[in-house]
Chain A
């Protein structure tokens, strides 16, 4: 299925679409309020973009510096070329310490690598501890948003899921009570977790520390009660200096949810005495993206989700319509790098309105990259044949004024004289499902000009 098909299924529930759109627009508005309050916000965006640009330009050096400092801190550093290797490394670490259970805070990288199913298949009990992640895990769904994994669900849905899995009373849908039930349920898991996995928001080259940002406190609780901490990071998470965190922590939460900062901004450099800390650095297509000049700055992404909240298409089609780990506009420029054929409809799931680019805290030119992916997808022959031929025909018409004038006249007069039922037949005119065609005038502007002016 392509994006349009999944999106059409989503919008067919008009009421839920309204709710989804309004809920995310509310987050966008909170973001706006927070952004307007910081006079230097646009300068911060530029700084963040420049810091990331610089880091990418010397990424190999920063990776080595980071590794060296992390090792000096007593951290074991692993490198994974792809998802498979990443998953194997995690499993090996767990087997090495004889662990069979795992608590995991939010990590889009492990989603990208499909770590959970791999570990479960190998006999490991995996518990996602972020509330939203836990909800979708219990429902055996994928997260539908980077920051708000369960944003596609209503409280009644969550109530039903918790009734089935956590034994909350049937019909309980109060978010306060449901969250309390999850707190109790997950506390038990934290207390017995042998290994804790976290994602990484920022990795600091000069100290070897990794920074994890959460609101719930689940990353810290998991890591600090477990014997082993495994931090899984995409290699683009690096920044050179601790001082750079000043820029990024000011941007991240404001862009994501409109909070002035996340509740917990946690810096992990050295394991507690007698415990272990591992860092897995993952490529999985990132070096390939680095080698694409038009697309490499998508690696600046700090996963705030602002482009999703602002995207009028995402808000009305839902995260699952993208069928990729990272949905929304940023997902639509990351996914073709992973599998162009499978995700060929995503760069077209946009009006190119540019709002994503305007909210991006690291100034990724998302809509320009969507446009560029379209060109590549067309060149690689991944456009539907009808579209491709149509465009060739259109081009040959538009480069020839006489044929163009003739064609335009045919279209206009066709619209004038053909019956409405035919011109508006939805079988071959999708426009007409929800819209009237323009009313065709008797004469074109060209005709008027030639008669009146010339």
Chain B
């Protein structure tokens, strides 16, 4: 199985630890992923701004980069959703069709392709899960509250399988965080307010570690947590799993969640 790792542009530059954890976790699950260095971006920032036409060269570059892999795996449901849903505007060559089908969100890949629904490991903290809208409503990785009261999904199942981990029960399980790509700049006031409300819900219900499958949402939420100096740590879920799945004997996750202003991961 040839797996290409897609590390979204902002993760590459600002959250390398998320890329590293993705690489290492896949390795622990027996998958040696390859990172084609000519990769750039999926093109979503342009397309969501209305410049889909300008994004086409980026789409072609993405396909060109990843067409030789059986699977393309990314720690970002949003980018994956974009490739699958919106790469319909370029000519549907065999390569384009293949890449659209073969691109997976990391946890979807772990659950659906590798067939892993539980992970051994320990993470004795209260974890609040932020569902990204593109992962949940776009890729149907979790139940939507619009349809059913049952709160379930790929990522929540994986997290619950960790020893010692408590998942926060939120007032609003799947409200959008307000990141929304360029929305977070063009509609700054509403975006910030949405993020503050999400963080508040987690704070009220005891979240120590705020996590999710999409670093873009988390970057936005982390920005608020740090600005307000809240006693909450923000980690991509892959970082949690990678820490929890240490080889036996190693002590795991010794950090105590605290104000994150001075913290570095």
A residues with a Cβ closer than 8 A to B are 3-4, 7-8, 11-12, 14, 17, 21, 25, 32, 35-36, 42, 310, 312-313, 316-317, 348-355, 357-359, 371, 374-379, 383, 387-388, 391-392, 394-401, 404, 408-409, 411-412, 415, 430-431, 433-441, 443-450, 453
Contact = CB atoms under 8 A, between A and B. Distances in A.
B223 A437 contact: yes
Contacts of A351: 133, 176, 178-181, 183, 191, 194
B16 A348 contact: no
Contacts of B166: none
Nearest to B220: A435
A395 B35 contact: no
- Scoring B15, B45, B134, B176 by chain A CB atoms within 10 A of each residue's CB, the highest score goes to B176
A163 to B, nearest CB: 32
A431 B20 contact: no
A270 B257 CA distance: 70
Given A443-B16, A445-B20, A453-B35, A438 B51 contact: no
Contact of B189 (A11, A36, A383, A395): A11
- Scoring B7, B12, B57 by chain A CB atoms within 10 A of each residue's CB, the highest score goes to B12
Contact of B17 (A387, A401, A412, A441): A441
A8 B189 contact: yes
B220 to A, nearest CB: 7
B50 interface: yes
B219 A377 contact: no
A348 B37 contact: no
Given A378-B50, A395-B58, 14 more contacts: A21-B197, A316-B197, A351-B176, A352-B133, A353-B133, A353-B176, A357-B137, A378-B53, A397-B40, A398-B9, A408-B9, A433-B192, A441-B15, A447-B16
A436 B234 CA distance: 13
B49 A387 contact: yes
A7 B49 contact: no
B190 A317 contact: yes
A112 B178 CA distance: 30
Interface size on B, as a range, is 35 or more
A397 B47 CA distance: 15
15 contacts: A349-B187, A350-B183, A351-B180, A351-B191, A352-B133, A383-B49, A394-B45, A395-B51, A395-B55, A431-B185, A431-B223, A444-B16, A445-B15, A448-B16, A449-B37
B77 interface: no
Given A11-B190, A313-B187, A445-B7, A383 B149 contact: no
Interface string B48-78: 1111111101101100000000000000000
B61 A371 contact: no
Interface stretch (B103-111, B140-148, B245-253): B140-148
B226 interface: yes
Given A394-B45, A399-B57, A448-B20, A435 B144 contact: no
B13 interface: yes
Contacts of A444: 12-13, 16
B61 A399 contact: yes
Interface string B1-42: 000000101111111111110010000000000010111110
Contact of A348 (B35, B41, B187): B187
Contact of B194 (A35, A312, A443): A312
Contacts of B192: 433-435
B58 A379 contact: no
Contact of A395 (B54, B176, B178, B219): B54
A35 B144 CA distance: 13
Nearest to A41: B147
A358 B146 contact: yes
Interface of B: 7, 9-20, 23, 35, 37-41, 43, 45-55, 57-58, 60-61, 86, 133-134, 137-138, 144-149, 172, 175-176, 178-197, 219-220, 222-224, 226-227, 264
A106 to B, nearest CB: 26
Contact of A355 (B20, B40, B137): B137
Nearest to B146: A358
Nearest to A349: B187
B63 to A, nearest CB: 12
6 A-B pairs with least C-beta separation:
A435-B223, A351-B180, A378-B50, A445-B19, A434-B192, A374-B50
Contacts of A7: 187, 189-190
B138 A354 contact: yes
B149 A36 contact: yes
Nearest to A21: B197
A374 B48 contact: yes
B50 A383 contact: yes
B126 to A, nearest CB: 23
Nearest to B138: A354
A391 B46 contact: yes
A443 B20 CA distance: 12
Nearest to B43: A398
A439 B264 contact: yes
Given A36-B148, A351-B133, A445-B7, A375 B189 contact: no
A7 B183 CA distance: 13
Given A399-B40, A438-B15, A4 B187 contact: yes
B186 A348 contact: yes
Nearest to B11: A445
Contact of B145 (A8, A32, A399, A408): A32
Contacts of A412: 13-14
Nearest to A436: B226
A316 B194 contact: yes
A433 B188 contact: yes
A300 B19 CA distance: 44
B220 A398 contact: no
Contacts of A32: 145-146, 149
A351 B172 CA distance: 17
Given A317-B190, A399-B40, A375 B50 contact: yes
A4 B133 contact: no
Contacts of A357: 137
A388 B137 contact: no
B188 A4 contact: yes
Nearest to B148: A36
A430 B175 CA distance: 23
A227 to B, nearest CB: 45
A353 B137 contact: yes
B88 to A, nearest CB: 11
Contacts of B264: 439
B134 to A, nearest CB: 8
